Structure 1
Amino acid sequence: MKGTLVTDDVLVRTEGHAAQIVLNRPRALNALTHAMVGAIDSALTAAESDPSVETVVLSGAGERGLCAGGDIRAIHDDAKARGGASAAFWRDEYRLNARIARFPKPYVALMDGIVMGGGVGLSAHGAHRVVTERSRVAMPETTIGFVPDVGGTYLLSRTPGLLGAHLALTGAAVGAADAQLCGLADHFVPSELLPELQADLARLPAHDALARWARPTPEGELAEAREWIDACYAADTVEEILERLLDSGVPAAKEAAVTLQSKSPTSLKVTLEAVRRAGELGSLEEVLVQEFRVSCAAVTMPDLVEGVRAQVIDKDRSPKWSPAGLASVTAADVERFFAPVRDELTF
């Protein structure tokens, strides 16, 4: 793997013993397209087979973040057209997520700035996840009438206590310390030191480079919130969780309740069920199969189109969810998202 490979949206180059993969859509916060998934997969194939490459480093162009997620405008348009492009995208994206988790060489993700949705899938499954003081890590899918995917329910089902359920339902973004607490990151490196880290990753073993530049992580917020989060999210249903949050007397819990009240009722119920089922599944691949079923169902439902319209297209932030209330989302409605699909995801 020699020289520099340049595509429109993904840059791949070799520096010393490191293959550098750079997401290159800074105006779109490096949002992930289907073509980008293919380019990253090809870069990993080249890096895996090249004996001169010892480490893969993933980063994002621009100053705002690694990746804000998948290209939800494209998913919105496909959902309106009732096409099959989204399923094809997710099939390749989820396979890439699993490949990253199993990649045989050190895979270092620089999670600087915004890392959301699909960006979490490209980074948090890697062997070495680096966060900075600017990191904001989230799975905000319930905001747009969707459900956490890209292995997000696998990761969030394995956090301490019920922190993952809280993050999955609210879509809240966390900083460096809380990302580490939740198992989404490993190392804290101040953003000003990232150039030095990248230079050392090109010449040193990844473990040595990271040990040289990692610093103590500033304090987070979730550790102190564990008591009310674990108590509230242990409830059986979303309705009961909401009641506990409102009745807890904790200001932060009430804020979480207000946040939940703004989300898609269907997405909330499916997300809670998805996280709980993910915790009972043994492997990332099994969870990704479940997520593929859920995503394929979600793209046929009205809330995804409406959520993207309200948040991204019209930006009125006033989605009209259907159904509009939690009580109208039945157990059968939720179960439908987990039904097998005709062309299942396989590995």
Structure 2
Amino acid sequence: MTGSETPVLRRVEGRAAHLVLNRPRALNAIDHEMVRLVDAALTDWEHDDSVASVVITGAGERGLCAGGDIRAVHDDARDGDGSASAAFWRDEYHLNARIARYPKPYVAIMDGIVMGGGVGISAHGSVRVVTERSRIAMPETAIGFVPDVGGTWLLAHAPGELGTYLALTGAAIGAGDALLCGLADHYLPTSDVPGFLAALATSPVRDALSTREQAAPDGELAAMRPWIDACFAADTVEEIVARLLDHGDTEAKEAAELLLSRSPLALKVTLAAMRSARGLGSLEEALDQEYRVSCVAMGNPDLVEGVRAQIIDKDRRPRWQPAHLDEVTDADVRRHFVSLGERELGLA
């Protein structure tokens, strides 16, 4: 296999070890092989005293990672028994937890598009760098799925109801809002990233950052917080939509329309997962919960239909089942959170 075909490239430059997600034509979407390759590299470098930090970037010009390989999940849901996706998620979620606990600085360059599984492989790191090109999102409800890869844990700890808003709508945010929501730590202009990466070969991370880090441009969410906090604090998705429609703010009404285009089942399960994640004690507990939810959601018709409408046929006209929020029962939601018994993820 040539370097251009290897889906994860690895190299060591001085004190810094580098991982490059290398599927640029697929916007570096993560598949099971890539999870294994990243995990193996982290094992090697954890015990290599010459490696002081690990850096992850994405090949190509468009971004770090557009998410998990959702086409493979779609095909498994449509034609398989779900076992391949469950095995992928098991290893991916273990990797997410490992990144969060990695004993060396794990530097994620969150430049360009960072969505879904891309958030999981970056935003749990100890040093998370955003740029003016960053577009970060957990867009799962648009394809009939639910935020995973520790996304419910991260978003549940954002200020006020910003995380609930981002989880339900799937809205993409820039650098300033990523810092506000706790998804990133540092801002660098894209033009300064090469110099920062070069400095890591000889310098500790904090020194390489200190001479380059800048204040991020203002985001948009702080000004939107009054209506986001007021509306997304509601106990049900129906009440959230009603509050948004009644609010009077144009952006609130647009958010309501966006929610009404999403999978009703995915919205209700996402709200339940977000509310539950706030009360959990660790990322590992949240990942255990997300694994239960993902394995059940795999069997819902909305996942196949959502991927078809958004990614395969691109007609953007999904036919959700159930089609309306009031048709989703409490029992429909609860079944996503039932123990899987021997098939539990078991991280916590």
Q: Identify whether the pair has TM-score above 0.5, normalized to the shorter chain.
A: yes
Equivalent residues in 2 for 1:60-75, closer than 5 Å: 60-75=58-73
Q: Is the Cα–Cα contact under 8 Å of residues 6 and 12 in structure 1 kept in the other structure?
A: no
Q: Which of 199-208 and 316-325 deviates more?
A: 199-208
2:11 alignment partner in structure 1: 13
* Counterpart secondary structure, 2:61: coil
For the pair 1:206 / 2:192, whether they are aligned, the reply is: no
Q: Is the Cα–Cα contact under 8 Å of residues 4 and 22 in structure 2 kept in the other structure?
A: no
* Counterpart secondary structure, 1:123: coil
Shift of 1:6: 8.4
Q: Deviations over 1:168-221 (max 9, x none)?
A: 000000000000000000000000111001001111001111122111110100
Q: Distance in 1 between matches of 2:167 and 2:257?
A: 15
2:27 alignment partner in structure 1: 29
Provide closer, same or farther for how the CA distance between residues 273 and 295 of structure 1 changes in structure 2, counting only shifts above 3 A: same
2:326 alignment partner in structure 1: 327
Q: Deviations over 1:319-341 (max 9, x none)?
A: 00000000000000000000111
Amino acid at match of 1:178: D
Shift of 1:234: 1.0
Q: Distance in 2 between matches of 1:54 and 1:286?
A: 29
Q: Is the Cα–Cα contact under 8 Å of residues 10 and 22 in structure 1 kept in the other structure?
A: yes
Shift of 1:147: 0.1
Q: Distance in 2 between matches of 1:195 and 1:99?
A: 26
Q: Distance in 1 between matches of 2:173 and 2:277?
A: 21
Count of residues in correspondence between the two structures: 344
1:113 alignment partner in structure 2: 112
* Counterpart secondary structure, 1:37: helix
Amino acid at match of 1:73: R
2:346 alignment partner in structure 1: 346
Q: Distance in 2 between matches of 1:247 and 1:225?
A: 16
* Counterpart secondary structure, 1:43: helix
Amino acid at match of 1:127: S
Q: Distance in 2 between matches of 1:219 and 1:200?
A: 27
Shift of 1:82: 3.4
Q: Distance in 2 between matches of 1:200 and 1:128?
A: 15
Q: Deviations over 1:299-333 (max 9, x none)?
A: 00100000000001111000000000000000000
Q: Which one of 35, 38, 51 corresponds to residue 36 of structure 2?
A: 38
Q: Deviations over 1:62-88 (max 9, x none)?
A: 010000000000000000123210000
In structure 2, the gaps of 5 or more residues are none
Shift of 1:150: 0.2
1:52 alignment partner in structure 2: 50
* Counterpart secondary structure, 2:207: helix
Q: Which of 77-86 and 272-281 deviates more?
A: 77-86
Q: Deviations over 1:64-113 (max 9, x none)?
A: 00000000000000001232100000000000000000000000000000
Q: Distance in 2 between matches of 1:300 and 1:210?
A: 45
1:175 alignment partner in structure 2: 174
Q: Deviations over 1:136-166 (max 9, x none)?
A: 0000000000000000000000000000000
Q: Distance in 2 between matches of 1:202 and 1:289?
A: 36
Q: Deviations over 1:259-285 (max 9, x none)?
A: 001000000000000000000000000
Q: Is the Cα–Cα contact under 8 Å of residues 270 and 334 in structure 1 kept in the other structure?
A: yes
Shift of 1:346: 2.1
Q: Is the Cα–Cα contact under 8 Å of residues 268 and 333 in structure 2 kept in the other structure?
A: yes
Q: Distance in 2 between matches of 1:341 and 1:107?
A: 32
Q: Distance in 1 between matches of 2:322 and 2:210?
A: 50
Structure 1 runs of 4+ with >3 Å offset: none
Q: Distance in 1 between matches of 2:315 and 2:202?
A: 49
Equivalent residues in 2 for 1:157-172, closer than 5 Å: 157-172=156-171
What is the aligned-residue RMSD (CA, Å)? Answer: 1.1
1:156 alignment partner in structure 2: 155
Q: Deviations over 1:226-259 (max 9, x none)?
A: 1100000111100000000011000111110110
Q: Is the Cα–Cα contact under 8 Å of residues 82 and 300 in structure 1 kept in the other structure?
A: no
2:193 alignment partner in structure 1: 194
Q: Distance in 2 between matches of 1:273 and 1:210?
A: 38
Equivalent residues in 2 for 1:125-140, closer than 5 Å: 125-140=124-139
